[in-house]
Structure 1
Amino acid sequence: MAKKEKILEINDLNISFKTEGKKLKAIRGVNFDLYEGETIAIVGESGSGKSVTTKAVMGILAKNGTIDSGEILYTWHDEKTGEPHTVDICKLTEKEIQREIRGRKIAMVFQDPMTSLNPTMTIGKQIMEPMIYHYHTPKEEAWKRAVQLLDEVGIVNPEARMKEYPHQLSGGMRQRVVIAIALACDPYVLICDEPTTALDVTIQAQILELIQDLQKKKNISVIYITHDLGVVAKVADFVNVMYAGKIIEKGTIDEIFYDPRHPYTWGLLSAMPDLDTDDDELYTIPGTPPNLTHEVQGDAFAPRNKYALNIDKRLEPPMFSVPGSKTHKVASWLMDPRAPKIDMPESLRRRIDKMKKEGAAHE
């Protein structure tokens, strides 16, 4: 099997926002790699830093946001020579990002298609625009390509749809149009920020399937941002679990779903709705995330963690490697060889055993 090329590398990324005279440390030392053709999911509660991380990659941080330190290294191959080129997106100007990166090499599908589409422009114009801007594609050629893209994303009668406006389409169709726009310049990386949240379950499944099919056809690398672990199970190769601006557990889809080690990941998995459960109530993680305008002392999850150790209040845990795995890493003092042995809750163990059985039955 050919060695996959690394396309995106995020090293020790730190981002803060100025709010009401205070400094909010939104991203605190994030690291991850993305390889070609691969799908990574970033999961966590609202406010954990998922969207901020990817907005930094796209160069669309809010005006009060600053990248304090770290690198976002993006690598692509020259179409003529095949030579690899690497740039640090953090060092590019807004103009350079707009001209070279955004939409052209890295594209994004947002949560609500109605806010990312221009209500005053026809669907066709909006798909043609990036091709004309980035590649100076002649209008006639851009029109043909836009029709082809609408067809690729499963829109019936694409030529007629080209002349319509966003309000004339259903939510699912609008999201397909947004995907068509994102793919207009053949990007290498597609970032999907909660791409199915506003859609009903049937349409949700269709959109996820569509993104997967397009990914296979075009060998695109995909980053999913979501709080829905059900979505993650369907699409991801690797998962990064985020909490309070840090990645606190990372691994393959099987490692995170079948062998989670961080109490926060246990909480997220336990909170997934399950039709066959005997429990009367859906599990929720107690407490609330910390206020990141204050300095976090020790492990940010400690106040909500019933398994917290004394050291959690004083020192931030490093990333421990799970024995026997090259990919599974956990930022928890429970992983320290000197820590007491704590097993996941029994109810979650039963749920995981059931998931394994169901997974085996589908194979």
Structure 2
Amino acid sequence: MKERQRILKIRNLNISFKTDSGKVSAIRGVNLDLYKGETIAIVGESGSGKSVTTKAIMGILSKNGTIDSGSIEYTWEDEQTKELHSVDLLQLKEAQMQKEIRGRKIAMVFQDPMTSLNPTMTIGKQIMEPMMYHYGKTKQEAYAQAVELLELVGITDAKKRMKNYPHQLSGGMRQRIVIAIALSCDPYVLICDEPTTALDVTIQAKILELIQEIQKKKNLSVIYITHDLGVVAKVADFVNVMYAGKIIETGTIDEIFYDPRHPYTWGLLSAMPDLDTDDDELYTIPGTPPNLTQRIEGDAFAPRNKYALKIDFRKEPPMFDVPGSSSHKVASWLMHENAPHVEMPAALRKRLEKMRKGGM
């Protein structure tokens, strides 16, 4: 079996923001690994820190954001010598990030294509520009490659579309254009921040399939940010569940969907819409996320967790290894050997068994 090559290694990442209400500790000790050709998903409620983590990778934090500690080690292979090179992205200056990393080695697809596209520039010019900037390609070379990219992302009559402006295209086509721009410099890592949120379900499925096809062709490593577990089930190899700026459960797609161990993950899976359910109302996790301007004592999820132990209110849980797995880890005191045994809710177990039989 071929050895997996780690392309991104995030360790002990802590990020805060200065606001009128005080200092917000948005990211609290995040550890994350991404390997070549694999897809990881980062899931959680709004405000859990999913987008902030990936913006730190891209070096596009807002001005009031500060990286308090940690490292983001990026590793790539030199195409000529085949040697591996590593760099801590957090140590690079803005000019280096702009010239060497952003768009060239790591690219991002945002959730609203209209905020990513320039309304005053033709589609063709917007796809050609990164290739000319990063690789010094001539207009003719960039044009030919842009047409190829439009065809790759499934846009028909590509040469005609090169002359169009964003407002002349549908939402699905605009998102395809954004993907084409992200791929224009052949990046090694593609970050997709809720790439299908604004699209209807049929277009959503096509965009997800498209990203998967391109990933296989180019051996891309992909990070998906989403709150939609249905999307995760279709695309991810590994899942990282975030809550209040921390990763609280991580594992393979099967481990998270069929053997979840954290009560918060149980809540997220229970809140997934299901056509076969007998309930009249969709399940919601009780309570609200904590205020990150205040210091959190113990487990941030404890006030919303009906299974919380006394220690949860005093001491933050470490990451426990799930017995029998090298990839499944959970930050919950319920995993401690002295903790009482707690089963996931029966309704959720029944639902997950049904999902397993149906092959998700």
Matched residue, 1:90: 90
Mapped pair 1:113 → 2:113:
yes
Q: CA deviation at 1:176?
A: 0.2
SS at match of 1:147: helix
Matched residue, 1:150: 150
Matched residue, 2:25: 25
Mapped pair 1:357 → 2:357:
yes
SS at match of 1:209: helix
Structure 1 segments, 4+ long, off by >2 Å, are none
CA distance in 2, matches of 1:259, 1:317: 20
- Aligned AA (1:353): E
CA distance in 1, matches of 2:314, 2:225: 31
Residue by residue over 1:48-75, the C-alpha shift from the partner in whole angstroms, topping out at 9 and shown as x without a partner, is 0000000000000000001100000000
CA distance in 2, matches of 1:148, 1:353: 44
Q: CA deviation at 1:22?
A: 1.5
| 1:321-340 superposed matches below 5 A | 321-340=321-340
Q: CA deviation at 1:21?
A: 6.1
CA distance in 1, matches of 2:74, 2:139: 30
CA distance in 1, matches of 2:308, 2:229: 24
Q: CA deviation at 1:357?
A: 0.7
RMSD (CA atoms): 0.7
Matched residue, 1:265: 265
Identity of aligned residues (%): 78
| 1:55-94 superposed matches below 5 A | 55-94=55-94
CA distance in 2, matches of 1:256, 1:79: 36
Matched residue, 1:245: 245
Q: CA deviation at 1:345?
A: 0.4
CA distance in 2, matches of 1:121, 1:270: 45
| 1:26-65 superposed matches below 5 A | 26-65=26-65
For these two proteins, the number of residue pairs brought into alignment is 360
CA distance in 1, matches of 2:10, 2:355: 32
Matched residue, 1:99: 99
CA distance in 1, matches of 2:70, 2:110: 25
- Aligned AA (2:223): I
Residue by residue over 1:157-198, the C-alpha shift from the partner in whole angstroms, topping out at 9 and shown as x without a partner, is 000000000000000000000000000000000000000000
CA distance in 2, matches of 1:309, 1:331: 13
Q: CA deviation at 1:31?
A: 0.3
Q: CA deviation at 1:83?
A: 1.1
CA distance in 2, matches of 1:5, 1:110: 26
CA distance in 2, matches of 1:314, 1:2: 44
| 1:175-186 superposed matches below 5 A | 175-186=175-186
- Aligned AA (1:297): E
SS at match of 2:29: strand
Unaligned runs of 5+ in 1: none
TM-score normalized by structure 2?
Answer: 0.99
- Aligned AA (1:46): S
Unaligned runs of 5+ in 2: none
SS at match of 1:127: helix
TM-score normalized by structure 1?
Answer: 0.99
